[in-house]
Amino acid sequence: MARTFFVGGNFKLNGTKQSIKEIVERLNQASLPKDCEVVLCPPAPYLDYAAGLVSKSQVSVGAQNAYQKAAGAFTGENSVDQIKDCGAKWVILGHSERRTIFGEDDKTVADKTKFALDQGLGVILCIGETLEEKKAGVTLKVVERQLDAVIAQVKDWTNVVVAYEPVWAIGTGLAATPEDAQEIHASIREYLAKKLGSDVAEKTRILYGGSANGSNASTFKDKKDVDGFLVGGASLKPEFVDIVNSRN
């Protein structure tokens, strides 16, 4: 079945009003493939601003994190309702930087995913192994464990996009080869089929993330289980448009 190509841009802790305006305007003016969804994820203070600048219906805005409670005494957190109120439709959850720097475990990521979905946000769910885990040959064990936590809580995966992001490839310039990414993506899809049924597995988009850029994105073009990209560094640059157009 045809899954709509999906490209997310994770700005991480980067950007100013000026630079975000330039990125959004570049996309507003670019010619983009019709069958493609783009989600720009600026830092939370700029969600409302970025959402207000977007002029293409296929482009939307997402947050980089969201708390798993509706409101209350949680200083420094951002709620799903506030994110939606700022015009965002998506949230990245389980990014490796959240897992490692901020100590989010599988259960926390699953709680956040369940809560965000229940409140109407789409979730870009990041999973992936570290270099040590890759060397130890436990990549599949790790991604299956990360998925299991979410599968235990989430039955409807309609609004979940999985991003396979090997940690060793994030921000290193060392992307996985298209062949290696395809192999892992196919295994992830197989696992989703085993746990949630083949219909969910066939419909769920699985993105690749980790040093994707304007030059290497098109080399993933014929990999049937790579449904798009989650892009960090290159999402801040003009080459982001090339990644969005890499299926042409």
Stretch of 19-27, 55-63, 132-140, 207-215 lying at the interface with ligand PEP (CB under 6 A): 207-215
CB 5 within 8 A of CB 36: yes
Please say which residue, 144 or 165, places its beta carbon nearer to ligand PEP: 165
Among 98, 128, 232, 244, binds ligand PEP (CB under 6 A): 232
Side chain identity, residue 238:
P
Q: In terms of C-beta density within 10 A (0-12 exposed, 13-18 middle, 19 or more buried), how is residue 89 classed? A: middle
Active-site residue, from 37, 95, 104, 129: 95
**Which residues 106-125 are close enough to bind ligand PEP by CB under 6 A?**
none
Among 9, 15, 210, 228, binds ligand PEP (CB under 6 A): 210
Side chain identity, residue 139:
T
95 labelled catalytic? yes
Say how far apart CA 173 and CA 163 lie, in whole Å. Answer: 18
Q: Going residue by residue from 59 to 98, which x/- string records binding to ligand PEP, judged by CB under 6 A? A: ------------------------------------x---
Active-site residue, from 97, 133, 144, 165: 165
Q: In terms of C-beta density within 10 A (0-12 exposed, 13-18 middle, 19 or more buried), how is residue 101 classed? A: exposed
**Which residues 156-185 are close enough to bind ligand PEP by CB under 6 A?**
165, 170-171
Smallest separation, CB 230 to ligand PEP (Å): 5
Of 98, 90, 100, nearest to 132 (Cα)?
100
Buried b (16+ CB within 10 A) or exposed e, 155-184: eebeebbbbbbbbbbbeeeebbebebbbbb
Please say which residue, 176 or 200, places its beta carbon nearer to ligand PEP: 176
Sign of CA pseudo-dihedral 246, 33, 42, 105? negative
| Interacting residues with ligand PEP (CB under 6 A) | 10, 12, 95, 165, 170-171, 209-212, 230-234
Q: What residues are labeled active site?
A: 95, 165
